[in-house]
Structure 1
Amino acid sequence: MTDTEPRTSGTTDGDTTPGAWAVLLPAERYEAERLVHHDVLELTGLPEGAAPRPGDRVAVLVEEPLRLVALGRVAPATAGTRNAPATAGTRDAPAAGGSWEDPDDPQSDATAGLVVTYTRRVLDEPVPVDGSAPDGPVTALDPARWRALADRLGPPPARRTWLVSLDLPIEAATRAEAVRIFWSYVQELGPRELPAFVSPSGDELAMQAFVLGVEANQDPEEDD
């Protein structure tokens, strides 16, 4: 069984460092973060003057409207932490020499300039945030403001076991060939096009299809 339990101890573990930062994700990167589970958020091309230190607290935001989607801690940046870091540019464009990249793109191998280890995610139910958006993709945040944002999340929900499946009709001469073709389709189409089916363990009748990270009706008769 695959377990996605966070690798850190709770939402606001420790509070031993004074630094706090806001990371503002563009809409495309937020969508990509919702499609594939990652333990870390990576960015390159940080704006001049931004100097997050390992252990600093991070609030991950998206705008239009402004919402809190995750909390994290700055980790030491290392090459190859994950296959697809993003490039931190301005709110409307990437930094010079870089581009925003999706984490479900296996072709990317850029070196991360900022690594944020997630401590709490609310990607599917972001929390509205009062006030104006940060001026850039990575900006200093008052520690009291970070604490106020973290407190709005409340306790994490209880975890449970889910059954997730992906069924594709494959034409092939042998079982082994069918499996190879299956994985080729999965890599090519990914979560943006393929429906995954999920149900609570022990309640398969409650199965629901998901595409692009949201529920998707797969019954054509219900669309009529």
Structure 2
Amino acid sequence: MTDTEVRSSGTIDGSGPGAWAVLLPAERYEAERLVHHDTLELTGLDGSARPRPGDPVAVLVDAPPRLVALGRVAAATAETREDPDDPQSEAGPGALVVTYTRRVFDEPVPADGLALDGPVTGLDAATWRELADRLGPPPARRSWLVSLDLPIEAASPAEAVQLFWAYVQELGPRELPAFVSPSGDELAMQAFVLGQEANQDPEEDD
């Protein structure tokens, strides 16, 4: 079964919006693009229409509308309180959790003509399938070598490793260049910052 097929566990049966479009804010899109996550968790959703576990989801970003991922609704988390410090405050629905089945964050697909009326919009089966089909077959996977080199002054190898991880946690993918090459072809190495290729040769900038 491919990513774009509707599974039997879904709820597309013609009785209602069995598929959904989830709209990501720009800053959340950048966070999802920078670091691989298996699931997407959204909170603060209002309205009575709530996706059900197993429903297929198209994840989009706006301005202009683009499809960046496909997924399926996972089991909902527990209800949350409006004021977490007040156990008597009104309870609201838990987070919407989507398990990714296909990610195209680095190569979004245009989704022109799709009308979105909020963070979560119900879709009919035909619309969801048409969106999913725009992705085409998933590309073949291959092995890559990814490295991160940091010059670190330390009194011992153990301290150097500790400082390395401290810098990685502090700076992260927004500031540190990661070097990637196809396995067996190190001459094709490229540097990436913010998920995009970044030139690390200052002489080429002159």
Q: Does the alignment reach a TM-score above 0.5?
A: yes
TM-superposition CA deviations, 1:45-82 (whole Å, max 9, x none): 11221311000010000111110000000001347xxx
Deviation (angstroms), 1:132: 4.6
Contact 2:143 2:183 in 1 (8 A): yes
Unaligned regions of 5+ residues in structure 1, if any? 1-7, 80-95, 98-110
| Residues 1:170 and 2:152 aligned together | yes
Find 2:5's aligned residue among 12, 20, 39. 12
Calculate the TM-score normalised by the size of structure 2: 0.86
Structure 1 CA distance for aligned equivalents of residues 168 and 115 of structure 2? 37
Tell me the distance in 1 between the aligned counterparts of 2:152 and 2:49.
50
Structure 1 contact 70–118 (Cα < 8 Å) conserved? yes
Alignment length (residue pairs): 188
The CA deviation string for residues 169-224 of structure 1, in whole angstroms up to 9 with x for no partner, is: 11100000000000000001110111000000000000000000111110101111
* C-alpha distance in 1 between matches for 2:2 and 2:126: 21
Distance 2:177 2:137 in 1: 31
Instruction: Tell me which structure has the larger Cα radius of gyration.
Output: 2
Q: Secondary structure at the match of 1:164?
A: strand
CA distance in 1 between partners of 2:70 and 2:140 (Å): 18
Quickly say closer, same or farther: Cα 1:181–1:115, change in 2 above 3 A: same
Residues of 2 paired with 1:23 and 1:72: CA distance?
10
- Cα root mean square deviation, aligned: 1.9
After TM superposition, the score normalised by the length of structure 1 is 0.79
Matches within 5 A, 1:188-199: 188-199=170-181
In structure 1, what is the equivalent of residue 36 of structure 2? 37
Gaps of 5+ in 2: 13-17, 84-92
**Residue identity (%):** 79
Pairwise CA distance, 1:27: 1.1
Q: Report what 2:87 is aligned to.
A: none
- Write out per-residue CA displacement over residues 3-49 of structure 1, whole angstroms, 9 at most, x where no aligned residue: xxxxx963335154211011001111111111100110110111221
Equivalent position amino acid for 1:21 in 2: W
Q: 1: CA distance between counterparts of 2:153 and 2:99?
A: 42
